[in-house]
Amino acid sequence: MSCASIPAISASPSKSLVSVTSHSTSKSRFARCAIGGTVADSKAVSVAEPLLLKAVRGDDVDRPPVWLMRQAGRYMKAGPEEFVSLPLNEARVVVWKWKLLFRKADGTYCDILSYQMICEKHPSFRERSENVDLVVEISLQPWKVFKPDGVILFSDILTPLSGMNIPFDIVKGKGPVIFDPLRTDADVDKVREFDPKESVPYVGEALTILRKEVNNEAAVLGFVGAPFTLASYVVEGGSSKHFSKIKRLAFSQPKVLHALLQKFTTSMAKYIQYQADNGAQAVQIFDSWATELSPVDFEEFSLPYLKQIVDTVKQTHPDLPLILYASGSGGLLERLTLTGVDVVSLDWTVDMAEGRRRLGSNVAVQGNIDPGVLFGSKEFITSRINDTVRKAGRGKHILNLGHGIVVGTPEENVAHFFEVAKGIRY
């Protein structure tokens, strides 16, 4: 979104330069400029297929596509009275008077509300992730600034729970809270099968808008939680260190856990299909806690359900790339490929070259730079990017971190990461 050309920003202008109207409409969006008039958003004709999709498929590409897990969110810290410039090729970001402004090469500006500003006005995470306007705005923040090759929906893996009759909240400083943890057969019987169109229509609407906004210049990514990870949250009552409750259920009442896992499996397959039908061009499955299982238990309580999801989705959406991420999965890599996913996302505890060898040539790989690298010098960041790309080899590689961006990561280092990554050529 842009206003008319503004030649310079004075030290203390009397008016905000840009204000943004609602995203939640299929009609044309407009920007209102302080200098007068209303300028309709003009959209270029959709470009060719996104680089990320080509790379996953194994097409010849000149560089690896790049995006970052948690690229939208808490590390983006624009504050009052700050004035910051982040050089990014021919464009830059300036923060001024509570406004995050993105100046493009043609001199036009677009308004970007910082994530911190949105949090102050909307302190509830669920409100931010269940409101179409906020979801779109937050999802597009890194796109407007860094132009990643993947734009992921701002949401949470627990979003479907309310629609499955599992009340929950995400509390600041504490994380997910399940109000009535599931521990018995009777508890599982109360869980409803998820109907995304009925329960989370804002997800579909947001994905549709994102697809139009990004305009095929990047791939729009959806995501879901894997059955075992979702079950871990609802049985433990939230996050856990030892996973004693889910393991007690698994090893003492496996039929109860399998019944719960099957409900999540059926529901998440539907959720992926729903996201794809509404604009997602690839979907990442997060099985964050599956690596708490031994290999033999992974084969019983996670692998068959992941495979069932993949098989179900591929029946209706055979060309939809599915990405599987499980942190700390070094001991399970060969088993992850048995799920049938198109991409396995590695964390940084696995050497990229070794991961490539163990996964084989039929699956693409994503990752896997340590998020802590972004606290290093720009020279160090550059070195690690080049090392990872070299070890991954040409093609079938999505450059990413091995986990999400850490809170407190310097924004200028994120800018440098993208600038270097997008400048790579095989």
Separation CA 302–CA 70 (nearest Å): 24
What pLDDT sits at residue 100? 53
Separation CA 153–CA 157 (nearest Å): 11
What average pLDDT does range 262-270 have in this prediction?
98
What pLDDT sits at residue 376? 97
CA dihedral 327, 332, 337, 338 (to 10 degrees): -130
Look-up of token digits 């794809």: 276
Cα 251 → chain centroid: 33
Q: Where are the beta strands (DSSP E) in 63-103?
A: 85-88, 91-96, 99-103
pLDDT tens readout for residues 146-202: 999 999 999 999 999 999 999 999 888 888 999 999 999 999 999 999 999 999 999
Long-range CB pairs of 347-354, under 8 A, 24+ apart, other chains included:
347/402, 347/403, 348/401, 348/402, 348/403, 349/402, 351/391, 352/388, 352/391, 352/392, 353/391, 353/392
Given a cut of 80, is residue 348 above it in pLDDT?
A: yes
3-class state of residue 269 by DSSP:
helix
What pLDDT sits at residue 47? 62
3-class state of residue 364 by DSSP:
strand
Mean pLDDT highest for which of 118-122, 167-171, 250-254? 250-254
Q: Where are the domains of the chain?
A: 51-78+97-423
Look-up of token digits 């979702």: 230
**CB 142, CB 148: distance < 8 Å:** yes
Q: Which helix (H) or strand (E) holds 109?
A: strand 109-112
Strands 18-20, 30-33: pairing is antiparallel
Separation CA 382–CA 385 (nearest Å): 5
**CATH number, span 51-78+97-423:** 3.20.20.210
35 or 389, which is more confident: 389
> Phi and psi for 153 in degrees, rounded to 5?
-60, 135
Separation CA 355–CA 373 (nearest Å): 19
Separation CA 130–CA 279 (nearest Å): 17
- Per-residue pLDDT band for 112 (boundaries 50, 70, 90) equals low
- Per-residue pLDDT band for 119 (boundaries 50, 70, 90) equals confident
- Minimum mean pLDDT among 36-45, 63-72, 363-372: which range? 36-45
87 or 75, which is more confident: 75
- Minimum mean pLDDT among 6-15, 93-102, 348-357, 401-410: which range? 6-15
What pLDDT sits at residue 173? 80
Q: Edge to edge, what strands does the sheet with 99-103 contain?
A: 85-88, 91-96, 99-103, 109-112
Given a cut of 60, is residue 394 above it in pLDDT?
A: yes
Closest-CA residue to 288 (of 333, 236, 325, 246): 325
**Averaged confidence pLDDT in the chain:** 84
What average pLDDT does range 372-388 have in this prediction?
98
Q: How many CA atoms lie within 13 A of 401 on its CB side?
A: 20
Closest-CA residue to 234 (of 288, 176, 156, 306): 176
Angle between helices 244-252 and 254-277 (to 10 degrees): 110
- Per-residue pLDDT band for 219 (boundaries 50, 70, 90) equals very high
What average pLDDT does range 233-257 have in this prediction?
95
